[in-house]
Amino acid sequence: MMSMEISSNYKDYRNDYLERLQEGKDKTNEVGKEQDAGNKRESIPVPKDEYIHSEQSGSRPSGLYRMGQDENGNPKVLYDDPKKAGGADKKGQPKVGADSPEEENCTTNTDKVDREIEKLKEQKQQLEQQIKAASEDEEKVKELEKKLSRIESELSQKDNDTYRRQNAVIS
């Protein structure tokens, strides 16, 4: 049988790694002090960030977005350009309802997508009628059902708002 003794006195434990680490820190501190002394002689200001309240800065923000309404009463995001003095009052705040010439009216047209979906729905109805009419011919029914399932899967992919938005024409 083998016995092992564990020393409970941790003060006697020596760690070379910690000593080397401490020596490295001391060397970097000495080098850092020398560099700091050199910087003080050159008197180059060190750039740093600091918060300046908007009232104290005296300058306006680079641009403001706000919610407004278009001519039909629909919600719309409006941009107030700080370069235009006509869109702001004396305090630098944007006037509500101030129309600037840079404002663009965008319209989204989904007519093409809607026509495509309607065409698919019509094809689906026609195939369903053809399947009912050709109930005696098994091969023709299988072929029509295959076409019907293809059209139904295409219709399920396209008949949603996401597809309409992605394929809409914006002008």
The pair of three-digit structure tokens given for residue 148, joined into one six-digit string: 């019907």
Tell me: the pLDDT tens digits for 84-99? 755 445 445 555 555 5
Tell me: the pLDDT tens digits for 35-50? 655 555 556 677 777 7
pTM passes above 0.85? no
Is beta strand 108-109 parallel, antiparallel or unpaired with respect to 75-80? unpaired
Neighbours of 94 (CB within 10 A): 21
Task: Please answer whether residues 115 and 102 qualify as being in contact, where contact means their C-beta atoms are separated by less than 8 angstroms.
Answer: no
With the CA atoms of 133, 137, 138 and 140 taken in that order, what torsion angle do they form, in degrees rounded to the nearest 10? Answer: -70
